[in-house]
Structure 1
């Protein structure tokens, strides 16, 4: 019996399209429209336990998808420290060396922020805790052999971290993983540990 998790990245924000680092931005009209449209194509399990980042864009995405979700602070976006809300183009001019180090070194972090290596550890801890909770729930269900599903509405950075953790890869590969708005990835846990699956047709 495998534990099955579906991770969904939130709809796009105006800040993303303007090339700004996130600052707890809400969805704008375009993001809301994208999320509403996704509701017809993203078929998430009815019996899933649903968790969501505390960020406004994630919570609004969950609502647009018709999901009643529990806020989980561990699903918060990468902490961008002093770069929060700043334009990438401005940082290229003002702090090119720090920005270049951050894009290449998974242990580098924005001033006062969080490195990608730290994010992988945070997301790995969350995934392993969810697996333990799933197995505990499944063992109490005597009328089914199927583990319950878990859905998380969160950020592209956390989906990237989840893939790195599931594959046991080096955090240094993070620039090679692209996750767009409203992307869905599926992870399963079995005796082999975590595996990354293509999202099933019923889930995209």
Structure 2
């Protein structure tokens, strides 16, 4: 059974705009306004199974987009460990070698959280499980349509997995707030499609 998956990155947060690692921040007025403005632009398929990260910013985004979503812990943001809530500028001054290692080595997790490689494995397992007979979209008619509101690193990881690429390319994929990527699964596996307009 073919699956069409639309992954949506949440609206911008104050943490993102101030260069901080997320700490389960809600959307502020600016982020909410961006999400409300994007609602008309982001046409979601009728009858889609809709999922959302447990993070407040992702849930706020889904609500602002008019989506009634089920929380899926597999869509959680990357675990930043002890860097959660910290400013990048502060870490660059305090632990420049750790920060450099994290940005260059997909297996590095000096913060004690999740590495890029671990995130790719987690997201890949979720994607592959979504096509099993007991998958998260089993109640959706053919072809299955799934929408997931989540985080930019999760979208990056999904692209890396779909392409069968090395996690080394992770840092070369930019995902802006409220970006949409489309992945489709068929007999030949996952493919990355141009985002819907």
Question: Would you call these one fold, judging by a TM-score over 0.5?
Answer: yes
Partner Cα distance (2:196, 2:166) in 1: 26
What is the match of residue 170 of structure 1?
A: 166
Cα distance in structure 1, aligned partners of 2:136 and 2:91: 42
1:136-155 Cα shifts (integer Å, max 9, x gaps): 546xx5xxxx3220000000
Aligned residue in 1 for 2:187: 191
Q: Which has the higher helix share?
A: 1
Give distance in 2, aligned partners of 1:75 and 1:56. Answer: 12
TM-score by length of 2: 0.96
The number of equivalent residue pairs is 195
| Whole-angstrom distance in 1 between the partners of 2:26 and 2:35 | 12
Tell whether 2:90 aligns with 1:94.
no
The reply on whether 1:181 has 2:177 as its aligned counterpart is yes
Give the direction of change, closer, same or farther, for the CA distance of 1:136–1:65 in structure 2 (3 Å limit).
closer
Give yes or no for contact 1:123–1:158 (8 Å, CA) kept in 2: yes
3-state SS of 2:169 partner = helix
TM-score w.r.t. structure 1 length?
0.92
* TM-superposition CA deviations, 1:87-131 (whole Å, max 9, x none): 000000000000000000000013220000000000001111112
Q: Name the SS for the 1:196 alignment partner.
A: strand
Equivalents in 1 of 2:32, 2:139: separation in Å? 34
1:5–1:187 contact (8 Å) kept in structure 2: yes
Match of residue 19 from structure 2: 19
On the 8 A contact 1:135/1:147 being kept in 2, the answer is no
1:18 & 1:177 partners in 2: Cα distance? Answer: 21
The alignment yields a C-alpha RMSD, in angstroms, of 1.3
Which residue of structure 1 aligns with residue 108 of structure 2?
108
Unaligned residue ranges in structure 2 (runs of 5+):
none
SS of the residue aligned with 2:35?
Answer: helix
Alignment of 1:104-183 (within 5 A): 104-132=104-132, 133=135, 136-137=138-139, 146-183=142-179
SS in 2 for 1:131: coil
